[in-house]
Structure formats: C-alpha cells, structure tokens
A and B are shown apart, each in its own frame.
Chain A
C-alpha cells in the first residue's frame, strides 16, 4: 500500500490553534438544542392533555348550567381555550416527534444504502471469481 506520510499542506497557518480559539470564541453558542426539543415535546403533550381536559370540563359545565350567561363563560374559558391548547399541543407534538422520527428515518436510509452497496459489491466480486 502506498502511503506518503507527509503532512505537508496541513495547517498551513502556524497559528491554526489561535485561529481556532478565536473562531470558537466568536461562535454564537445556542446550547441545549436537544434538551429544548425534548422539553417542547413534553410541553406539547402537557398542553394537549390540559386542553382536552379543559374542553371536556367546559362542555360538561355548559350542559349542566341553564344560565345562558354562565354557558357562554364556560364555552369561552373552557371549550375555546381548551380546544386552542389542544391544537397548539398537538402541533408541538407532531413537530418535535416528527423531527425525531425523520432523523432516525434518514439514518436508516443511509445505513440501508451502505448495506445495499456492500451486497452489490460482494455479488460483483463473487461473479468475477466464478466467470461463466
């Protein structure tokens, strides 16, 4: 195997480390991205559950109260806000669970592509070892 163990051309700038430190220093660090994602997913679930509970509560209270004024109040604070929370929670849940799912899907696609190529290469090698 031919290897030319000559790192010439690497780190052309003698102050690469200093440059690297400066670059890291100038980074806009947005730490905790993954943790935020998990928190927003949990928030989505919590909002959805709370919204559903509120909507059901509003619905029951509207049915059990003959006073029209109270019914409107229950509809506004219970059902409408509850439904809005449910929709918001569902949107957050779909957004962040889908992001996770799509990431795994992408990794799986890459992995399968590698495996397929390995199989094709192995088949070609087998075929070339045993020509007809």
Chain B
C-alpha cells in the first residue's frame, strides 16, 4: 500500500451528542494518506456517529475535524463531498425505486459526465452494466453495495468513508468487496471503514481502532488490536 503517515483526515477530541445525550466523549482518530483504517466496535459504540462527524452530517459539540491540515468543523457535508470526502452510508444510500443508470446519474453532481461515470462503473463492476436498466430494489444486496461503491468512486474520492460494508451480505461477497477496497486504497485514497464484524476488514486494514461506549480504546495494527477485540465485543470495555 502506498502513502505515508501524514493524516489526511483527523478527528481531534470530538464530542458529539443527539440532543442531550452525548454519544462521543472525546474521540481522536487519524486516517493517513492511502491507508485503510478500520473502526471497530460493538453495536451502539458510536462508530456511525464518528463517521457522520467526519463527513459533516453531525456537527460536533466540541473538538475539531481536520481535513488535509485544515479545520473544516461545521462545513456542510455536500461541500466536503464535492471536494472528495465521500461517504457510502449504512444501507447503501441508493434509490431502490430508480434504475442503476438513474442512480449513477445522481453522481453527476460533482461535475463528471454520466457517460464517464457509467464507463468507470461498468468497467469495474460488469454486473452493473448488465443490469443498467433494472430497478435497484430488485437487485441482490451485493449488487446494491457495488452500485453504492461505484457511485461513490465516480466522485473521485480522496477520502472514502464506508459504513458497514458487509451488512446483510454473504461472506464471499464481502471478501470480494474488501478486495476492491484494498485496491482503491492502493491508488492513494484514504479510507475509514466502520465495521461491527471485524475479521474480514482486518485482513486489508493498515490500522484498526476499537471503539467502546463513545471512546477509542485502542489504536494499532490489526495484529496489535486482535487481542482487544474479544474483550470489547464481550463487554469488557468498562
């Protein structure tokens, strides 16, 4: 994997809440250039909120979001997306009642022509090309996830934020998708992956962070955090 250790995305002392309930209690996390960072932890740990803070959907109560060395806390998510901070949300964020082609059309907001987006998407995921006129809601979960990825990649991301890529998918499909994620990182894209089920993503991650109860408990290489994982999932986070 290429890249150096200069962080392209940094969260510094992030505190975030939903109304009166604080869910992140001072999160520090860095995603270096061209690296895959896996954010792992049990359900309700605050992983998705962390991702939403990183992409600007949730504004932190305290702390800073630093992108490419610049404090962008509070910047609108569409502004960040336009510049290359791309999120593929949990549930894929696609429109099930539109066709594959119409969904890809949604990615033209960044200024790339549809023909170019389609060419890139169908070259990378030929299955999507075969189904370009099909309603997305009628496709399999794996194909829907591919479409979500294709749409995200069409925006030429510099930072890719993936939320629960494996959700509802067969292990074989998950493995294939993570193979693609690793190759995307090899092109210099910095990737933050949020996952509840850790094993597959650890195979491609450069760094892993374990989150429990709204705080990052451990950050290290996949080998270093492996021992901590079971404790975190079995409630040993106190």
A residues apposed to B, CB below 8 Å: 1-11, 14, 16-17, 19-21, 23-25, 27, 29-35, 113-114, 117-118, 120-121, 124
**Structural contact, B142 and A25, CB atoms closer than 8 A:** no
Kindly count the residue-residue contacts between A and B in the assembled complex, taking CB atoms under 8 Å apart. 125
**Structural contact, A7 and B124, CB atoms closer than 8 A:** yes
Chain A residue numbers with a CB within 8 Å of B135 are 121
Mark the stretch among B38-46, B186-194, B213-221, B227-235 that contacts chain A. B186-194
**Structural contact, B125 and A4, CB atoms closer than 8 A:** yes
Judged by a CB distance under 8 angstroms, whether B22 is at the interface is no
* Cα(A8)–Cα(B12), bound, Å: 34
* Cα(A70)–Cα(B171), bound, Å: 82
CB distance from B205 to the nearest CB of A (A): 17
Given A1-B143, A17-B33, A20-B84, residue A29 in contact with residue B127 (CB < 8 A)? no
Instruction: Convert B40-83 into 0s and 1s, putting 1 for each residue whose CB lies closer than 8 angstroms to a CB of A.
Output: 00000000000000000001000000011111111110010001
* Cα(A4)–Cα(B121), bound, Å: 10
**Sampled A-B contacts (12; CB under 8 Å):** A2-B125, A2-B127, A6-B183, A10-B189, A11-B189, A14-B188, A23-B84, A24-B83, A25-B68, A27-B83, A31-B75, A121-B137
Judged by a CB distance under 8 angstroms, whether B173 is at the interface is yes
- Contact partner of B158 (CB less than 8 A), chosen from A2, A16, A121, is A16
**Structural contact, A5 and B158, CB atoms closer than 8 A:** no
* Cα(A10)–Cα(B172), bound, Å: 24
**Structural contact, A5 and B69, CB atoms closer than 8 A:** no
* Cα(A20)–Cα(B160), bound, Å: 13
CB distance from A108 to the nearest CB of B (A): 15
* Cα(A8)–Cα(B173), bound, Å: 21
* Cα(A16)–Cα(B172), bound, Å: 31
Chain B residue numbers with a CB within 8 Å of A11 are 156, 187-189
* Cα(A11)–Cα(B158), bound, Å: 8
**Structural contact, B72 and A29, CB atoms closer than 8 A:** yes
Judged by a CB distance under 8 angstroms, whether B153 is at the interface is yes
**Structural contact, B137 and A118, CB atoms closer than 8 A:** yes
Judged by a CB distance under 8 angstroms, whether B238 is at the interface is no
Judged by a CB distance under 8 angstroms, whether B126 is at the interface is yes
